[in-house]
Every structure is written in structure tokens, then in C-alpha cells.
Amino acid sequence: MKSGDGLGLPRMSAVATRHDVVVVGGGIAGLVAAGRAAELGLSVVVLEQGEGERYLCNTRYTGGTFHVGYTDVAKPAAELLGVIDKATAGFSRPDVARAIASDAHRLVLWLQGQGVRFLNLGKYHTYVLAPPSRTGPGLDWEGRGGDVMMQGLEANLVKRGGSVVRGTRATGLDVSGAPVVRVHATQRGAPVAFDADAVVLADGGFPADPSLIREHISPVPEKLQQRNARTSRGDALRMAQAVGGATVGMDCFYGHLLSRDAMTNDALWPRPYVDALAVAGIAVGPDGRRFADEGEGGVPLANAVARQPDPLSATLVFDHTVWMDAGTSPLIPANPHLPKAGGTFHEAGSIAELAKLIGVPVDALERTVADYNAAVDAKATAGLTPPRRADKYAPAPIRKAPFYGIPVCAGITNTMGGIAVDGDGAVLDAHDRPIPGVFAAGAATGGLEGGPAIGYVGGLVKAVLGLRAAERIAAVRDERSGAAHTLPTSIPTRSYPMVHALVKYGHALAILAALACLAFGIAFAVRDGAIAYAAASLAVGVLLYVLLKSYTELVSIIADMMLPK
Ligand SMILES: Cc1cc2nc3c(=O)[nH]c(=O)nc-3n(C[C@H](O)[C@H](O)[C@H](O)COP(=O)(O)OP(=O)(O)OC[C@H]3O[C@@H](n4cnc5c(N)ncnc54)[C@H](O)[C@@H]3O)c2cc1C
């Protein structure tokens, strides 16, 4: 791999270099689109603004779980479609939802075919990029799943003749020369251009663009914590809009509630997040009153915090029972990581004392907690103002001292809305018509997530649109040239037959080996008339059985976690 040293870079010239496909952005969505296009015989270049060998992006930071609305991607498409529909309360575009539901599993299988390794960590974490992040607060990405996957995908792309051109920020599109699309970019300050039959926009959305965030998500963007690589600044969105592309669902983001100290303390983001405490207790504003339905979950609550006039004014309030229960439950739990990593953690013997510590009016907080407790006891939290649903997350009373308060902020991971696309990632205009040659994929796209329910479906699975965009671009090429439409996968999945055989027959092998040992011992004992042979062979046989059986179990555990399904 070249790291922006000029090798492999297109020559700077007034004349545009020509490719079949230009991809803007080298995260998972861009690399999947590029890799699939190259696999299908297209010439591809990825324009990446990052300079370094391991340029930062959100994929580099990812937790690495491929899921569809917290559901295993290998579930039947119909079930996944139902999950998307429920999570977003029907907001998703049907064709995009169908594409994700039907191809999420194909995406991980394709990645496995590219040599990407996964772990099965149970529940919906059945495909987690390997190796996973170490458990602990703060960032941990180097040599972890997203980083390793990206290196592998780039190496495969290069093998197929493609390249990732670093230090190149795409700035504009020109579709006036259709069917050729021209991508304008700056390369270390100088203008360059790339011509192609198609462009795939995959810049990761607009979480790090203050003006777009102010326009759509929060009145005070500087008071949100960027829970991401700060590399996605809405360039693709603006490029698409400039050629007539529509946008959809711009007002929501995927993110979590973090300790407010995460704004200045890097050990407190991206984890631990404190959603589990919020949905068990309450969140209050500077007036000591609740301002949102905590029962909707951490992602909608983070959005509600971001929408406050002052997003740095919310505090979670809960009691000792919640701290010892919900506080310890999720991955990298707040208890004990948050106080250990330096997150402010107020503790008081009474609600009045807590109110003083967190700086809200005493009588208001006492009233809020009393009303809340009464509603929890009466199972009538829907009658609170604002209402509190109890069917997703059970509300817990705030009764057992000590009482706690955690000042929070909204951590924005990625934007849910973005460029309007169809199920193949084709960018759509305001009349739902595809703009020829212009595609988008990944977190740059909208239409899958968000809506009034602020429904979250998943970040990594949106790379499905990159896969499908590449296939549609190849199909158009094939139609034009009259060639047969083939979808080869030229890097075969490794099969590990011996490991599979050991998992399947290991136990039988252990029994056989032990019995064989015993049989030898008995045969010798009969021949020489020495019972000691039989006794010794029994002992060795048992030992052999125990050793082989434990070895088989160990291999089974590893195979369960790591082998392609
Ligand atoms: C801490 C963290 C944990 C996460 N955990 C999970 C998880 O477990 N499961 C899950 O599904 N999702 C998770 N996500 C979200 C998921 O990782 C992202 O949604 C996904 O990686 C986005 O991929 P992408 O390719 O669309 O964008 P990115 O990976 O952000 O890539 C976009 C690339 O485009 C480049 N770029 C931007 N503008 C330009 C331009 N004008 N020209 C050229 N290049 C440009 C950027 O430099 C960047 O390299 C997590 C995210 C974070 C930050």
C-alpha cells in the first residue's frame, strides 16, 4: 500500500483521469463498493481525503458488530424487514429496507470471502469484526476489527488493479457530460478531476459539519460530543444536492449519552456510555424536570438532549439499586468505568442534597422524583409529563439511597439521514428519479433510519448499498457492451476441513483412542499374565480421553467464534 507518497497517485493534470468508477471516501461503504466493482472487472479509484497509511474514519473506530436493528444479520430477510419496520415505525423507504434485509447476510459472507475475519459473540453479535476492541473506556482501534478489515479490503482492491488515492478531497460533481460523470477534487491544495461512468459517494455523512448539524439536529452543535473520527463533513451531501439529489431524514443521528466530561476527557468516549442508566432512571434538565421519554431508549434520548436549547444541561438521576444493576449490565459498564475514568458522579443521601449537587431547584427535583416514583408504583408512567413508556425498558423507582446524578452530553456517532437513494444506492432527485451515474452508500445515505421514532437500524450494514451499487454499475456496463452479466467472487472463502472434522468427530476420536489404549493393555496383560498392564492402560486411556476431549472442546469454542458459517 502506498501512503500518499505520490506512487499510485494520478498525475496532477488539467485533464481528468478516466475510470469506470470513482468512489468518494474510503470507509467500509466505499471500500466495499470499490472492491465489488473491481471484482466485477471495473477499473476503480477511491478518493480519500485522509493522508496517512491508516487514515482515520468511522470504520476505523467501529465496534464492529454487523446487525440489523440489534438482530442477527443471518435471520431470514422477512424477519429483518419486520425488525426495520418496527424500529423505524414504518419510516424506512421500502426498497432500501428490503435491500438491507435481504443482503445484510450476503455482505458479511462477501467480506468473509475477502478474508475478513469475524467472531461470534452471541445474541445479535454473531458477526463481530475480529479482533474486537479490548474492554475498557476510551478509544481502541489500532489493530482492531475495523482497522484490520480496511487494510485487507484495500490490499484486495490493489491486487485487482484499483487504488485508494489519499490526500484527495472530492469537492464537486459535473454530470453535464453524461454519461460521463466528472468528480472535482483537491489534491494537497491543487485541483484535480476524475472522469467515470459512475461515482459512488461514501463520505460517512455529516456528523462533523457544524453548519449542517445546526440546520438539522441541534441549535448548538459545539455542545455535542463527536463520538466519531470527525472526518465526515457532509461533502457528499452537498455534491449530490448540487446535481439535483434529494435528502431524507436529516434530523436524527445515531449516538449515545456520554458523561458530560467526555467533552474534555478522551477516556470517556466512545465508551462507556450511560444509556442503560438513563432508561432505568430519569433525565432532568436545569429546571429539575424531565424533558423526554427515557423509555424510548438511549439513541432517541441522545437526540432529545441534542435538541435542548442547552445540550450540556441534562443530568441522569437514579438510585443505588439501578447503579448496582443497570449500571453494571452493558458492555464496558458505567459502573465502575465512568468514575474510574474521571467522569463526574454525584452521590447524595437525599434527593434534596442531590439537587444542590447537580445545580437544579430542590423542590422541583423532589416533585419530579415523587411523581415519577408514584407513577412507577401505579404502573402509570404513560400519564407522566412527558409520558414515559414502560414496554421497552422497565422504569425503576428512585428510592434506595444513596442517590446519584451524572451530568451527560449527547455523543453523535453518525447521522441517520442523508442523500436519498433507492435500494441499489442510486441517488434520487426530488421526483424519486435516479440521477444517471450517481450513487451513494453507507452513512452518507438517508431513508433507512430515523423518522419520528428515531429508529436505529445499523451503521455497518449500510455498506450493503455499496455492494449493490457496484453490481448495478457493472450490470449497466454489461448491458451496454452486450456481455453476459456475471457476478464472480474470485477470492474463495477458506474452508478449514480439518478443524470442522475435529469439531464433528473429536469426541468419537477421544473414545476410540482411549479404548484402543485399553485394548492394547488388556492384550499385553493376557499375553504376559501381568494385570499391571491392564491397570496402566486404563489410566493412560482415561488421560488420553480427557486430553483429547478438552482439546476438541477448545477447538469447538474457537470454531464457533471464528470460523465462517
Ligand atoms: C465508536 C464507534 C462505534 C461503532 N460501532 C458500530 C457497531 O458496532 N456496529 C455498527 O453497525 N456500526 C457501528 N458504528 C457505525 C459504523 O462504524 C459507521 O456507520 C460506518 O463505519 C460508516 O462507514 P462509511 O464508510 O459510511 O463512513 P466512514 O467509515 O466514515 O468513511 C468515510 C470516509 O470518507 C472520507 N471522506 C469524507 N469526505 C471526503 C471527501 N470530500 N473526499 C474524499 N474522502 C472523504 C473520510 O475521510 C472517511 O475515510 C460505530 C461507529 C463509531 C464511531
CB of 277 closer than 6 A to ligand 1? no
| Closest atom, ligand 1, to C-alpha of 460 | 11
Asked whether the beta carbons of 314 and 358 are under 8 A apart, the reply is no
Check whether 453 has a pLDDT greater than 50.
Answer: yes
CB of 457 closer than 6 A to ligand 1? no
Asked whether the beta carbons of 185 and 210 are under 8 A apart, the reply is no
The architecture (CATH level 2) of 18-251+416-481 comes to: 3-Layer(bba) Sandwich (3.50)
- Ligand 1 pocket: which of 45, 59, 84, 183 to mutate (most atoms within 8 A of CB): 59
- Ligand 1 pocket: which of 414, 415, 416 to mutate (most atoms within 8 A of CB): 414
Instruction: Band the pLDDT of 198: cuts 50, 70, 90.
Output: very high
Burial tier of 215 (Cβ tally within 10 Å: 0-12, 13-18, 19+)? middle
Dist CA 252 CA 306 (whole Å): 10
CA-based nearest residue to 245, from 409, 78, 439: 439
Is the torsion defined by CA of 327, 88, 71, 208 positive or negative?
Answer: negative
Q: What is the pLDDT of residue 497?
A: 82
What is the domain partition of the chain in residue ranges?
18-251+416-481, 255-411, 497-562
Dist CA 70 CA 339 (whole Å): 28
Q: What is the pLDDT of residue 396?
A: 98
Torsions phi, psi of 349, nearest 5?
Answer: -85, -15
Check whether 2 has a pLDDT greater than 50.
Answer: no
Check whether 74 has a pLDDT greater than 50.
Answer: yes
CB of 202 closer than 6 A to ligand 1? yes
Do 18-251+416-481 and 255-411 come out as alike in CATH topology?
no
Check whether 503 has a pLDDT greater than 70.
Answer: yes
Atom 2, ligand 1: which residue's CA is nearest?
A: 62
Distance 375 CA to ligand 1 centre (A): 41
**pLDDT tens digits, one per residue of 75-120:** 999 999 999 999 999 999 999 999 999 999 999 999 999 999 999 9
CA count, 13 A, side-chain hemisphere, 88: 29
**pLDDT tens digits, one per residue of 552-565:** 888 877 776 666 55
pTM reported for the whole predicted model = 0.89
Q: What is the pLDDT of residue 134?
A: 77
Q: What is the pLDDT of residue 329?
A: 80
Distance 362 CA to ligand 1 centre (A): 43
CB of 61 closer than 6 A to ligand 1? yes
Instruction: Band the pLDDT of 530: cuts 50, 70, 90.
Output: confident
Q: What is the pLDDT of residue 504?
A: 87
Dist CA 365 CA 356 (whole Å): 10
Q: Say which amino acid occupies 356.
A: K
Is the torsion defined by CA of 323, 120, 459, 236 positive or negative?
Answer: positive
Torsions phi, psi of 553, nearest 5?
Answer: -65, -40
Describe the crossing of helices 464-481 and 94-113 by its angle, rounded to 10 degrees.
90
**pLDDT tens digits, one per residue of 242-271:** 999 999 999 999 999 999 999 999 999 999
Check whether 364 has a pLDDT greater than 60.
Answer: yes
Percent of the residues in the chain that have a pLDDT greater than 90, as a whole number = 84
Report the chain's mean pLDDT, rounded to a whole number.
Answer: 93
What's the Cα-to-Cα distance from 96 to each of 100, 268, 468, rounded to whole Å? 6, 34, 11
Dist CA 26 CA 316 (whole Å): 38
Q: What is the pLDDT of residue 368?
A: 98
Query: What CATH number has the domain spanning 255-411?
Result: 3.90.700.10
